[in-house]
Structure 1
Amino acid sequence: MRVPATILFSFILLGTDLLSSTRGEMFTALIHMEGLQDIERNLLSQLHNYIAKEKEKLKVLESFAKRVEGALDTMGGDIAQHLHDPVNAFQLTNRFTNGWMKMHEIVYSDNGQDFMANISVNRHSFPTEEDYSGAMTALRRLQDTYRLKPTNIAQGKLSDKGLPMSSFDCYTIGKKAYNEKNWRHTRDWMLAALERFDEEGGDPTGTVDIPSIYDHLSFAEYSLGNIKKASQYTRELLQHDPSHERAISNREYFNRVSREEPDKFVDHEGVLDDESEHAVYEKLCREPAPIPSHLHKKLICYYFNNKRNPRLILSPIKTEVAFVKPKIYIFYDIVTDREIERLKELANPKLNRATVHGENGELLHATYRISKSGWLSGSDDPLGYVDRIDQRIEDVTGLTMSTAEQLQVVNYGIGGQYEPHYDFARTGEDTFTSLGSGNRISTLLIYMSDVEKGGATVFPGVGARLVPIKRAAAYWWNLKRSGDGDYSTRHAGCPVLVGSKWVCNKWIHERGQEFRRPCGLSRDV
């Protein structure tokens, strides 16, 4: 038995879900999503071709149907009289021996074979359910970090090139939040779904309906303690579906509460502001903290040749003191565009998502870092770019690279971030014993791209904020001269709101620096 193409299409698309556990995720690095454009353009071309062929089929079917309708109208109720005309008898015979058999062939013909084959070939490159879930979580992260209204996100207002979301998109995000018992996000995204539903004149997918949206809104508001709003949404639901059993029961409950416990029939708005580290981190992501005026004179710019280093005398580094304590430097134009492209080219096949060890020792994806990274050494690059960059870092910092870690190239994904962390190993933690080079004495962070919106590097404990500037590098000491960790260097990478963020880390270790950065006489310096 031959299966119609439409059923096969549904089967194959559903089948892609079965592969989700065997493929690497895409949402954690935008570079791995860029190839989807070519795949989608090719699929769209073949889909248009399939639609054109199907339209041509419909034209033939409609033309035949009209001829049959005309013959039946002429035939009327007297088939015997109609067949007295030999031409009529011939045409009736012809319709059954040729016409209807031709229609059978046309209806059963499959114009979607090329399209289906393309889906099958490329489905291993499709984003998975994990990607879809990660993308939804990313939008909610951006909503919270940058205090965005989901209605504005849904209207495509994040950038000039933003596309509007559908009511189904918003409803799905709200449903995910509902399943996670995040009632605030449920409410926010269901309201966005309601607005988009009205603007679209309905859900194009036919999946979302108004009663379902109001049902989730009512429960979310009830869970947030907003009994009055929950009652209002229940009444709205019943206007669209008067027989909704749960809503009828809820209406009775809300009516009883309003009569017997009027003090409960109020709304409560949650307070978003707090003094936690995460709140400070998110606030710094949105806006810089004011720097005390007495420190302004210490924030200076100058040309730096590191004690007349031969390689820096004729091309000194443009340097800025961006923060005083901890001392954070910005080295401008420390790499070239060509070097950046070379690092991306080398790192791309090596990019992998960060992992952590679970309770049972299994490797799990790290949720605190939404990015992929790849490590590069001089042996990876026969053209010598990596070695040249390492040498330049040694020239600028004055520290040996012989015990430093390899260059780590990082590309952030949808709403990519790195939550507050230290680069050095704290007391009681393993001090990178597998490397045998001591703790991380300093960090050099190269910005390989500008970022349109978001993506700042922030230090929540001290209020420092660095905006990515392509070709520039941030540099700070992780350890004091005593070897103790400088806890003021706790920092984070803010979520990327619009754009693609590429960075390159160089972590320099203690071993080999004994005479380049001698111990101080005070533990606090």
Structure 2
Amino acid sequence: MLHSGATRMLHVALAVFAVLFYCGANGEFYSSIHEMSKVFGYEQKMLQYMQKFMADNQSKLDFLKARLDEYELERNEALQWGVAYFESPLNKYLLSKRLTVDWQRTTNLMAATTGERALARLHQLRHKKYMPNERELEGAIDGLLRLQSIYRLQAKHVAAGILDGVSYGTQLNAQHCLDIAQQAFRDEHLQLAHAWLMEANNRLSINDRHKLQPKIQKLLAQVKARFTNYRAVNGTVETLKSEKEQEHLLLAQSQSNVISSELEIEEHPPVPEDLRKLSEFDAYRYTCSGHIKTTPGEQRHLRCGYLTETHPFLLLAPLKVEELSDDPLLLLYHEVIYQSEIDTITELTRNKIKRATVTGLNSSVVSNARTSQFTFIPKTRHKVLRTIDQRVADMTDLNMEFAEDHQFSNYGIGGHYAQHMDWFYQHAFETNQVSFPEMGNRIATVLFYLTDVAQGGGTAFPIIKQLLKPEKYAAVFWYNLHASGVGDVRVQHGACPIIVGSKWVLNRWIREFVQSDRRPCELWDDSLITMNQLLELSKKLEDK
């Protein structure tokens, strides 16, 4: 039975999660912090069935009682943390692991002739469509590896519960580290796999050593065999060998030699000296990590102040705005959405979010490039949404009549959206992936931040070297198209992975239809030459 104090706390948890438990879900949790928090209530039900089973069969192996004590200890710690428990990706990973691998072992042990009723109910619960599965565990580990890669975190720090310099107190054991290493190896993240294997070896307990060390050694040999220059592993071998030959040779070495091999494998690649010559993804991740940023000289001419000129109403209630880039235009508005509006939005989106998609070759597809969940709600659904649209019109001086439906997104474990453009490519129109194509392309974006994020989760603009940290009640605005209507590649952007916290955003995508009087074309093709370039050319001509 549960201890009385723990029982009282669990009853409180049940009250909090009761509504969530019976509402159903869409079968995926790791891509949304909001959805991930629901599984905590499911585990409580599983614990109750386990208690009933033990009451029916007191002579069952003491192993079951030991597992129950372990689960209760972890839950009590989580209850003491409260909501903050779900802000740590390590806790979410451990919860996913308990609800997949650990519970599978437990139910296998419980499969006996006694306690059949409790066992049947437990099996029934575990196979509900809203319960986590093996894919959830893979998604949780993938999120951890993404955090580690983009923010250049050390495996030894993550295993110790230290995320980007902040300690959260959650420790990973040798088995956890091995699990992460196995998935890193499978996904070809060899440097990270090596780091996690070394950490797994360092965290071996006396009880684990006999079972886990051979697995660590074997996988470590496979990782090192993938690095083609075998000469660096063993100085006596002068020729390159096949991967299989390298693996067999490494396995033939002693365990200590495999661990302490001379081959040095850095956990992360060195930061390039010239950050101007990067792939699009590398530019995105180095912006997220803070390596790409504007210089004081580049910021000197930027302005901030109160906006009054886009609508007469702003003379009475000006908006606080900060210029982050003038060409292309990137503006940050402060305090432009309110808590009461966010509360209404939360109610409108309850139990409606689903896995986010990206534009594919012929249709929208789920992709690891975007780990979040979203939903679309038309502005006609509630007057608050129409009020927000009027505010966007005041902010941007653009017509909101034909803007797309409001999109609300919540990001999951290591949740991100890799570099992308908001404007549609021509093939999206040709393959009928654009709703209401007669309304044209997305001329501009307004992105509202509905929550703060403790760590990570910024919006990166690699080309203009800006990283915006989520600021609750703020919104950022930019044009997706040149005035000529051509897509502006300079506003390529991405949502950086969340380290700790939950990120909710509201997107307002504004179409170019009926905007010609609001943003007329220039006298030149501004997709070929910018205003700054024209001014510079004009100055050179004057000097001549």
- Pairwise TM-score range, normalised by the shorter structure: 0.7 to 0.9
Whether the 8 Å contact between 1:141 and 1:415 is mirrored in structure 2 is yes
Distance 1:168 1:58 in 2: 23
SS in 2 for 1:441: strand
Distance in 1, matches of 2:445 and 2:363, equals: 29
Q: Are residue 424 (structure 1) and residue 423 (structure 2) matched?
A: yes
Cα deviation 1:448-499 (Å, max 9, x = unaligned): 1111111111111121111110110000111222222222101111111111
What pairs up with 1:103-114 in 2 under 5 angstroms? 110-111=114-115, 113-114=117-118
- 1:204-243 matches, within 5 Å, as 208-225=211-228, 227=230
Q: What percentage of aligned pairs have identical amino acids? A: 29
Structure 2 residues not aligned, in runs of 5+: 1-24, 63-111, 236-244, 273-277, 532-544
Where in structure 2 are the equivalents of 1:509-524 lying within 5 Å?
509-524=511-526
Indicate if the aligned counterparts of 2:177 and 2:199 stay in contact, CA closer than 8 A.
Answer: yes
Residue in 2 that maps onto 1:461: 463
The 1-side partners of 2:472 and 2:250 are apart by: 58
Of the structure 1 ranges 40-49 and 335-344, higher mean CA displacement relative to structure 2 is found in 40-49
CA-CA distance at 1:506 after TM superposition: 0.5
Q: Is the 8 Å Cα contact of residues 421 and 492 (structure 1) preserved in structure 2?
A: yes
CA–CA distance in structure 2, aligned partners of residues 331 and 515 of structure 1: 24
2:439 aligned to which of 437, 440, 445: 437
Preserved contact between residue 228 and residue 267 of structure 1 (Cα < 8 Å): no
2: CA distance, partners of 1:521 / 1:480: 13
How many angstroms apart in 2 are the aligned matches of 1:355 and 1:229? 44
Q: Aligned residues, how many?
A: 429
Q: Deviations over 1:297-322 (max 9, x none)?
A: 43322122334522x33322111112
Look up the equivalent residue of 2:200 and give its one-letter code.
A
Cα RMSD of the aligned pairs, angstroms, is 3.4
Return the offset for 1:24: 2.8
Partner deviation per Cα, 1:240-267 (whole Å, 9 max, x = no partner): xxxxxx9995269779xx9xxxxx9865
Give the Cα separation in 2 of the matches to 1:341 and 1:277: 37
SS at 1:430's partner residue?
helix
Equivalent in the alignment of 1:386 = 385
Question: Paired residue for 2:174?
Answer: 167
Q: Structure 1: give runs of 5+ residues left out of the alignment.
A: 1-21, 60-107, 233-245, 259-263
Report the Cα offset of residue 518 of structure 1.
Answer: 1.7
Name 2:405's counterpart in structure 1. 406
2:19 is aligned with 1:25: no
Q: Where do residues 53-72 of structure 1 align in structure 2 (5 Å cutoff)?
A: 54-55=57-58
| CA pair 390-115 structure 1, distance change in 2 beyond 3 A | farther
User: What is the alpha-carbon distance in structure 1 between the residues aligned to residue 284 and residue 471 of structure 2?
Assistant: 20
Q: State whether residues 344 and 409 of structure 1, in contact with CA within 8 Å, keep that contact through their aligned partners in structure 2.
A: no
Cα distance between partner residues in 2 of 1:283 and 1:251: 35
Distance 1:127 1:229, change over 3 A: farther
Partners of 1:411 and 1:376 lie apart in 2 by: 14
In structure 1, distance between residues paired with 2:122 and 2:447 = 42
Q: Distance in 1 between matches of 2:251 and 2:179?
A: 29
Q: Distance in 1 between matches of 2:305 and 2:352?
A: 37
TM-score by length of structure 2 reads 0.71
Q: What is the identity, as a one-letter code, of the residue corresponding to 2:370?
A: R
> In the alignment, what sits opposite 1:501?
503
Q: 2:204: which partner in 1?
A: 197
Q: Matches of 1:326 and 1:153 in 2, distance apart?
A: 38
Which residue of structure 2 lines up, in the alignment, with residue 273 of structure 1? 271
Determine the C-alpha separation between the residues in 2 that align with 1:413 and 1:494: 12
Identify the residue that residue 92 of structure 2 maps to in structure 1: none
**Equivalent AA in structure 2 for residue 153 of structure 1:** V
The Cα of 1:131 is off from its aligned counterpart by 1.4
- 1:444-483 superposed matches below 5 A: 444-483=446-485
The residue type paired with residue 483 of structure 1 is G
Instruction: Give the AA of the match of 2:401.
Output: S
The residue aligned with 2:376 is 375
Match of 1:6 in 2: none
C-alpha separation between the residues in 2 aligned to 1:128 and 1:58? 27
Per-residue Cα deviation, 1:63-117 (whole angstroms, up to 9, x for no partner): xxxxxxxxxxxxxxxxxxxxxxxxxxxxxxxxxxxxxxxxxxxxx8834633641
Q: Deviations over 1:18-55 (max 9, x none)?
A: xxxx9632111111111111222333345356546655
2:186 equivalent in structure 1: 179
Q: Distance in 2 between matches of 1:390 and 1:319?
A: 18
The 1:23/1:426 distance shift into structure 2, 3 A limit, reads closer
Kindly tell me: are residues 116 and 513 of structure 1, through their superposed partners in 2, closer, same or farther at Cα, counting changes over 3 Å? Answer: same
Structure 1 residue 268: deviation in Å?
6.3
Letter in 1 for 2:144: L
Judge conservation of contact 2:161–2:171 (CA < 8 Å) in 1.
Answer: yes
Identify the range of structure 1 (148-157 vs 220-229) with the bigger mean alpha-carbon deviation: 220-229
Letter in 2 for 1:171: L
Range with greater deviation from structure 2 (111-120 or 122-131): 111-120
Q: Distance in 1 between matches of 2:366 and 2:251?
A: 47
Deviation, 1:362, is: 7.2
Question: What is the deviation of 1:393?
Answer: 1.0
Aligned counterparts of 2:359 and 2:509: Cα–Cα separation in 1: 22
Aligned match of 1:134 in 139, 147, 151? 139
1:354 maps onto 2:352 in alignment: no
Q: 1:405 to 1:141 in 2, by over 3 A?
A: same
Contact in 1 for aligned 2:353/2:373 (Cα 8 Å): yes
Structure 1 residues 121 and 390: CA distance shift in structure 2, 3 A: same
Partner of 2:17: none
CA shift, 1:403, in A, is 1.3
The one-letter code matched in structure 2 to 1:131 is: E
Is 1:38 matched with 2:35?
no
CA distance in 2, matches of 1:321, 1:184: 40
Match of 1:154 in 2: 159
Give 1:365 shift: 1.4
1:285 counterpart = 2:285? no
